[in-house]
Structure 1
Amino acid sequence: MSELRYTKDHEYIRIEGAEAVVGISEHAQQQLGDVVFAEAPAIGKILKAGDPAAVVESVKAASDVFAPASGEVIAVNSEVEATPGIINEDALGRGWLYRIKLSDAGEVAKLMDEAAYADYLKTLD
Structure 2
Amino acid sequence: MIRDDLKYSSEHEWVRVEKNEATVGITHYAQDKLGDVVYVSLPSVGSAAKAGQSFAEVESTKATSPIYAPLSGKVVRVNESLKDKPELINEEPYGRGWIAVIQMESPAETDALLDAAGYERFLKSH
TM-score (norm 1): 0.95
Aligned-pair CA distance for 1:19: 0.5
* Gapped regions of structure 2 (runs ≥ 5): none
Counterpart among 45, 50, 53 of residue 51 in structure 1: 53
Aligned residue in 2 for 1:93: 95
Aligned residue in 1 for 2:85: 83
Counterpart among 65, 68, 81 of residue 66 in structure 1: 68
TM-score (norm 2): 0.94
Distance 1:74 1:3 in 2: 22
User: When the two structures are aligned, how many residues end up with a matched partner?
Assistant: 123
Distance 2:39 2:33 in 1: 15
| 1:103 maps to 2:105 | yes
Matched AA of 2:11? D
Q: CA RMSD in A?
A: 1.2
Matched AA of 1:100? I
Aligned residue in 2 for 1:7: 9
Aligned-pair CA distance for 1:13: 1.0
Identity %: 43
Distance 1:100 1:81 in 2: 19
